[in-house]
Amino acid sequence: MNEAARSPLPATFRLVVTGGGTGGHTYPALTAIRTLQGRLATVGGTLDVLWIGTPDGLEAKVAPAEGIAFTTVATGKIRRSSNPLKMVSPANVRDMARVPLGVAQARKAIAEFAPDVVLATGGYVAVPAGLAARLCKRPLVLHEQTVRLGLANRKLAGSATRIALSSESTLPLLPESVRPAAVVTGNPVRPEVLSGHADKAIAALGLAGFDRRLPTLYVTGGAQGAQQINGVIRDVLPWLLERANVVHQCGPANVEPLRARAATLPSAVAGRYHLTGFVGPELPDVLALADIVVSRSGAGTLAELTALGKPAVFVPLASAAGNEQAYNARHLEEAGAAVALTGDVTAERLHNALGPLLADPARRAGMAQAARAHGRPDAADRLVDVLLSAASS
């Protein structure tokens, strides 16, 4: 069935969501839930959701805070290694022995809840719950956020009714046997991220010293900040502020050292630097203000920046599972939508990456257009179409 021809909306819909551990797996699921709730509400329908997760993952906080029923199952973490012998470590063997218990627990939960469809967004907990969906003969929809298929989704691909991908580039990486089940939806982006206003950021953050004739750079290392990014920004700061305004989200624990550095800046440019530990509700407005973003290259970040059409310089997290952030960054660099700084990232390399972008508005515009071409701001609606189609097929 073609998901573009939307399935009729049921009066009630029961959905099991599984996945989490990190925001990259958790927030796309939450955005899909909210979108499906909104879709059903247009016909007076209701959505019942059960989230199967881990007790110590982000989903354990997010689901209850959203009023979503939440239960946990046993699961095991695979500690990856390029050496196959190290994969058979005592810790891996012990954790994998927990998976059958997790499958039994998830099977009981799914059988009792009787969902119309199960959505798995990745993370270790998705494996037992996804296998239980097959045992309970319930449609299973996988959602993959990264360019490469994550480990959990690779294990579950053969059991899936549909495999929702974030990128066309993932299709040839799938086993041929499961490609007919795949559809490219994009990675759901929170709607509020797409509705920012630059002038609101100026007012909310008190950016009176910004020179609006210059481009604005938003630097972020995620909620906790990134020492690597903070370090190279600190080293190029005087040069940078001669050419741009900077909003620098450095992580709450990293403010004081950078504040001391900011105190040494020449008074002529000091007002162009806004340092903050955390960017909260004003994030959509900061993104609207930004002409260039320097950040990690997690799947959620890519989805937001391409949906907004923002040029980016990515500094991938080297320790990301399966080196996924490096693949994400290179994917957009090859498309002309970003610059990927992998390996040893120095102040000189950042200088060389940012210099041409800051100096050339046309170059920024071309990169923005390339980013927007890869963006899917309607990804949540597309994923909901897949869920409804899978449930009715």
| Structural domains for the chain | 12-189+377-392 (3.40.50.2000), 192-374 (3.40.50.2000)
pLDDT of residue 7: 62
Q: Is 110 exposed, middle or buried (0-12, 13-18, 19+ CB in 10 A)?
A: buried
Which amino acid is it at 122? G
Q: What is the three-class DSSP state of 289?
A: helix
- Give the residue from 46, 41, 62 showing the smallest Cα distance to 14: 46
Against a cut of 0.85, is the pTM above it?
Answer: yes
Residue 42, pLDDT > 70, answer: yes
- pLDDT tens digits, 342-368: 989 999 999 999 999 999 999 999 999
pLDDT digits (tens, 9 = 90+) for 232-265: 999 999 999 999 999 999 999 999 999 999 999 9
pLDDT tens digits for 74-130? 986 654 445 555 545 565 555 556 688 999 999 999 999 999 999 999 999 999 999
Q: Please tell me the predicted confidence (pLDDT) of residue 96.
A: 57
Q: Are 327 and 306 contacting, i.e. CB atoms less than 8 angstroms apart? A: no
Sheet with 245-249, strands from edge to edge, namely: 273-276, 245-249, 216-220, 292-295, 312-314, 338-340
Neighbour order of strands in the sheet with 182-184: 69-72, 46-53, 12-18, 117-120, 140-144, 162-165, 182-184
> For 225, left (φ over 0), alpha (ψ -120 to 50), or beta?
left
Rounded average pLDDT over 38-60: 95
CA distance 22 to 57: 7
Cβ(292)–Cβ(339) below 8 Å: no
What φ, ψ does residue 95 adopt, rounded to 5°? -70, -40
- Do the bridges between strand 117-120 and strand 12-18 make them parallel or antiparallel, or are there none, so unpaired? parallel
- 3-state secondary structure (DSSP) of residue 90: helix
Rounded mean pLDDT, 225-229: 89
- Give the chain's mean pLDDT: 91
How far is 77 from 98, CA to CA, in rounded Å?
10
Contact 221, 296 (CB under 8 A): yes
pLDDT, residue 79, reads 44
pLDDT at 28 over 80: yes
Query: Other CB atoms closer than 10 Å to residue 168's CB: what's the count?
Result: 10
User: Measured between alpha carbons, how far apart are the two ends of the chain, in Å?
Assistant: 8
In the block, which residue shows the tokens 């741009």?
A: 244
How many angstroms separate the CA atoms of 108 and 128, rounded? 12
Question: Pick from 286, 311, 300: which is nearest to 376 by CA?
Answer: 300
| Residue 86: predicted pLDDT | 54
pLDDT higher than threshold 80 for residue 39: yes
**Residues 195, 193: Cα–Cα separation, whole Å:** 6
pLDDT at 4: 44
Q: For residue 29, which amino acid is it?
A: A
pLDDT 10s digits, 179-208:
999 999 999 999 999 999 999 999 999 999
In tens, the pLDDT along 275-333 reads 999 999 999 999 999 999 999 999 999 999 999 999 999 999 877 666 889 999 999 99
